[in-house]
Structure 1
Amino acid sequence: MLAIIAAVLFFFAFLINAAEIATNDVFTSMNVMLIGLALLALHVAGVGSGWAARGRRR
């Protein structure tokens, strides 16, 4: 799920950069891209995957 959100943020960053849309200081294409990279790093680290490492029950 985090990877999908990251892909959407990368697409928005591309649109902001390609269309040269004037935005405020918070939503620049670089900031949106960095948020996407942070979400992608969390996805690769396994955060939000839904799998929990639990011991075996006998």
Structure 2
Amino acid sequence: MSFDECAMAYISAHRAGWRNIKHASQWINTLGTYCSPVFGASDSACRCRTGDEGCGV
């Protein structure tokens, strides 16, 4: 799973708990601007954080 896929899975899993629907857009835009260019296609970003094959969502 790539970082981008992991990030979208995280957002999808937590979106319902956010008080404002704009928060999902803010997460997507921030990750797209700052993280995706560096880690986007990398499949190691999620494993480094959780120590397993998934992103720990």
Q: Above 0.5 in TM-score?
A: no
Larger Rg: 1
Give the structure-1-normalised TM-score: 0.32
The higher relative CO (CA closer than 8 Å, separation ≥ 6) is in 2
